[in-house]
A and B are shown apart, each in its own frame.
Chain A
């Protein structure tokens, strides 16, 4: 699975959009980009995933660049409850459901 690079931490004001970047320059054609988050003292939680196209669900939007070497997770209106570590994971569909977590970005949403 391709490696990912994320900033270690970011701040965001409550109510503003939080844009979390992820670099995955070695991604291959069949690898998906996944985002999970881990709120303090809990297990990670699935947010969103994508292959090529931008994706949106009730939690977030995922923007993947045309060359697929980077992506951005967007939380449109961050709340204090969105304070968590956000993990960007690139995974092959053939790796038997395994997820390998990188170092993640600690998002601090401030009032």
Chain B
């Protein structure tokens, strides 16, 4: 199984600022995924980050708000830009497992915007 770490684990930010979240995997993976989990809600897929190409965003999410970088096969960042209190959520990254039915998730970054 893949071991995934995220930084920071939590942060409290002022509205209007930006935060970059890092996701590090202990093995090389082609795809990485970013999810948002708003308080008391389920997970919502934000985008797919492929190495060497632009991220693919799900409906309702745009690059200007959530720019993603994928500089290599073990690392990705998600930036939450121009934050508002509605962006307060847990942000998780995930990667596919060796088999297509498994996906491994990081511990999440808990973001609070005041």
Contact surface of A with B, Cβ cutoff 8 Å: 32, 34, 38, 41-46, 49, 85, 87, 93, 96-104
Assess the A100–B101 pair: CB atoms within 8 A.
Answer: no
Instruction: Report which of B100, B102, B108 forms a contact with A43, defined as CB distance below 8 A.
Output: B108
24 pairs from A and B in contact (CB 8 Å cutoff): A34-B101, A38-B43, A41-B108, A42-B108, A43-B105, A43-B108, A44-B43, A44-B105, A46-B101, A49-B101, A87-B42, A93-B100, A96-B31, A96-B48, A97-B31, A97-B100, A97-B103, A98-B45, A99-B45, A99-B94, A101-B42, A101-B44, A101-B45, A104-B42
Where chain A touches its partner, the secondary structure class is loop
In order of increasing CB-CB distance, the 8 nearest A-B pairs are A43-B105, A101-B43, A97-B96, A101-B42, A46-B102, A49-B101, A103-B42, A44-B105
CB distance from B61 to the nearest CB of A (A): 13
Known A96-B31, A98-B48, A101-B42; further 19 A-B contacts with Cβ < 8 A: A38-B43, A41-B108, A42-B105, A42-B107, A42-B108, A43-B104, A43-B107, A43-B108, A45-B105, A46-B102, A49-B101, A85-B42, A87-B42, A97-B100, A99-B33, A99-B94, A99-B103, A101-B44, A102-B42
Assess the A32–B42 pair: CB atoms within 8 A.
Answer: no
Q: Which residues of A contact B106 (CB under 8 A)?
A: 43
We find that the number of chain B residues with CB closer than 8 angstroms to chain A is 23
Q: Given known contacts A49-B101, A96-B31, A99-B103, is B42 in contact with A43 (CB within 8 Å)? A: no
B71 at the interface (CB under 8 A from A): no
B85 at the interface (CB under 8 A from A): no
Q: Which residues of B contact A44 (CB under 8 A)?
A: 43, 103, 105
